[in-house]
Amino acid sequence: MNRKKIGILFGGSSSEYEISLKSAYGIISHIDRKRYEPVLLGITREGTWFLYQGDIERIKDGSWYRQAACIPAVISPDRRFQGVVYMQDGEIKQIRLDAALPVMHGRLGEDGTVQGLLELAGIPIIGCGTKASAVCMDKDLSHRLASSVGIRVPKSKVLTIWGDREKALAWAEAVGYPIFVKPATEGSSIGISKVFGEKQLGQAVDIAFQYDAKVILEEEIPGFEVGCAVLGCEDPLLGCVDEIEVSGGFFDFQEKYTQKRSKIHVPARISAEKMKEIQEAAKRIYWVLGCKGFARVDLFLTPEGELVFNEVNTIPGFTPYSRYPNMMKQIGLSYGEVIERLIQTEVLS
């Protein structure tokens, strides 16, 4: 039986480059080689594209692009090819792809840019498409859409790099400290600050503007964060709900990948009824934002038991130990089975 050629894109010009390598390594090392032939496309921090044909352990340790096994390559936007074009031995060659799985976290990977290239090329995307990826990456737009279907969202104020800074102080004083200041389109809590008073606000806004021309100020939501993994399209599979317990501070970039002051509980320490409510809310958000394939929906659970939408990760961390696979593990799916089901959402559609 001919194996399906699956393009796996990793790396990228993002602050989450290293996380992408870890997630991609997990998928590449567990994909069913009897059914699929992975075509590895690595993108360096500088944005150089390579067809990688070397030892996948080099992806794990970050040295992949220093290898002779790297061949300059690109995704051809010409829909006649539907795949990868590269130069070898003085000849232009191509690999037609049956589907492509971007495993690129953050900007220029999770925000619709790569998805747009794949759609232009006519290559089926495993995961969310261009529009859903772009909307979910934008905290302001995703909140507006979630609110339209009755999901509570934090009170917020949007600032642009061209003005409105003077309005930040008045808004923060009206809402009350502490507040969060966030780049509107970054992932992994990069550029986010928790602000406790007027003196910190200006610096926090400056930090956020280093990552985005659009910044969002949000009220602090009491309680704790919960997440739900969603897998599929029209009738998606819902994973077990998890809970983030943080002892001091908030779940920032460093804490997400070291967990020195935090702990992930899966299943979450909540009632079965509340877990069902969270799963149903996650599914509604998944649908209204146009997601497909897979995503992780994150919400806050207040002390009063109310759900408040936080964000959707359209390409969540995907190592064997990441939150998404662990939520699916709790409902009986192994890491390899999750990858298989994910690929089938597009390859067999």
**Pick the catalytic residue: 188, 193, 255, 346?**
188
Tell me: is residue 225 an annotated ligand-binding position. Answer: yes
Kind and range of the H or E run holding 245: strand 242-246
What one-letter code names the amino acid at 241? V
Residue 66 per-residue DSSP state: G
Q: Which phi and psi (to 5°) does residue 330 adopt? A: -70, -20
Q: 34 among the known binding-site residues?
A: no
* Residue 223 annotated in ligand binding: yes
Strand ranges of the sheet holding 49-52, from the earlier edge strand across to the other edge: 91-96, 83-88, 70-75, 49-52, 36-43, 4-11, 99-103
The answer for 141, left when phi > 0, alpha when psi is -120 to 50, beta otherwise, is alpha
Check whether the bond before 178 is cis (ω within 30° of 0). yes
- 218 labelled as ligand-binding? yes
Burial of residue 90, with CB atoms counted within 10 A of its CB: 0-12 exposed, 13-18 middle, 19 or more buried: exposed
- Element at 338 (helix H, strand E): helix 335-347
Kindly state the tokens that stand for 236: 């998606």
Q: Is 347 annotated as a binding residue?
A: no
**Does residue 298 have a known ligand-binding role?**
yes
Q: Is 220 labelled as part of a ligand binding site?
A: yes
Would you say 310 is a known binding-site residue?
yes
Active-site position among 15, 16, 23, 262 = 16
Report how far apart the first and last C-alpha atoms of the chain are (Å, whole number): 19
Q: Is 76 annotated as a binding residue?
A: no
Active site residue 16: yes
**326 annotated ligand binder:** no
**Residue 322 falls in the annotated catalytic set:** yes
Active site residue 188: yes
196 is annotated as contributing to ligand binding = no
Pick the catalytic residue from 15, 133, 262, 322.
322
Burial of 267 (0-12, 13-18, 19+ CB in 10 A): middle
Query: Does 252 belong to an annotated binding site?
Result: no
Phi, psi of 187, deg, nearest 5: -115, 175
91 annotated as belonging to a binding site for a ligand = no
| Residue 178 is labelled as binding a ligand | no
> Of 15, 21, 138, 4, which is closest to residue 83 (Cα–Cα)?
4
28 is an annotated ligand-binding site residue: no
Query: Is 197 annotated to bind ligand?
Result: no
Binding residues for ATP: 139, 180-182, 188-189, 218-225, 310-311
List the catalytic residues.
16, 188, 322
Residues of each annotated binding site: 139, 180-182, 188-189, 218-225, 298, 310-311, 313
Residues marked as binding for Mg(2+)? 298, 311, 313
